[in-house]
Amino acid sequence: MEQPVLQWQAGTVTAIRPETLKTKSFTLALPKWMAHRPGQHYDIRLTAPDGYQTQRSYSIASAPERVGELELTVERIADGEVSPYLHDVLVLGDRLEVRGPIGGYFVWEVALGGPLLVIAGGSGVVPLMAMLRHRAAQHATMPTRMLYSSRTADDVIYRDELDALAASDRTLEVFFTFTRQPPAGWTGYRRRIDAAMLGEVIQPFDKRARVYVCGPTLLVEAVANALVQMELPTEQIRTERFGPSGA
């Protein structure tokens, strides 16, 4: 089936929610809303008064079941061209030029089945959250695990929602690991994701897991290489890298 040509449209900002000190979620009402597949992204385009344009891609955080609107969670990159504007200038009621949904490789839907293992580093959790929200909206029960690496407890995006999802669903388990400063009294993982950690988290799924990995390039490559060493079939591994550009 031929893909329709995606047009730019102006979304209206209806909500701005801080997630961490460096990340915010932006809800946009779209005049030409289209259901996305969890894992897809939208482009945002800014145009300066002198005509200069710049654009970046941001993963969709919301589930496709949220009709008519779109949520993007954006990390503020200090020297970025787009994220500082979104964080520091954008206010409710503003309009933002967007185009999407885009992407077809790094997507998961309930119909694809499981068991599902999603692995995130930092803001790489965003497209994986769309998958978990979609799964919850569909009341799906395939065994699912998330492994999420953050520097500190304050850097965990969606912490309360992830805890609530896991508490209300016996088929979903969420594992956190902290690379710098774990919370007080923390007894879980406190290091970078390594082969031993992956082996423990994937163990109940064995080689049947569908795995989605998103985060900084070094994390993604290390995880993917470790999974291949475990002889997980490569066609069951999907990766997406979040570069420092904020893209």
User: What's 152-212 look like in SS3?
Assistant: EHHHCCCHHHHHHHHHCCCCEEEEEEEEEECCCCCCCECCCCCHHHHHHHHCCCHHHCEEE
Helix, coil or strand: residue 217: helix
Average pLDDT by stretches of 10, the chain with 247 residues: 77 98 97 97 95 96 97 95 96 97 96 96 97 98 98 96 97 98 95 96 95 96 96 96 54
Contact (Cβ atoms closer than 8 angstroms) between residue 142 and residue 114: yes
What is the pTM assigned to this prediction? 0.94
- Helix and strand numbers (H, E) in the chain are 5, 11
Residue 242: the pLDDT is: 78
Q: What domains can you pick out in the chain, each with its CATH number?
A: 9-102 (2.40.30.10), 110-241 (3.40.50.80)
Question: Distance between CA atoms of 162 and 167, rounded to whole angstroms?
Answer: 9
Contact (Cβ atoms closer than 8 angstroms) between residue 80 and residue 243: no
Amino acid at 229: Q
Residue 5: the pLDDT is: 75
Strand order in the sheet with 172-181: 172-181, 144-152, 116-121, 210-215, 237-241
**Strand locations in 8-105, DSSP E?**
9-18, 23-29, 41-47, 53-59, 69-75, 95-102
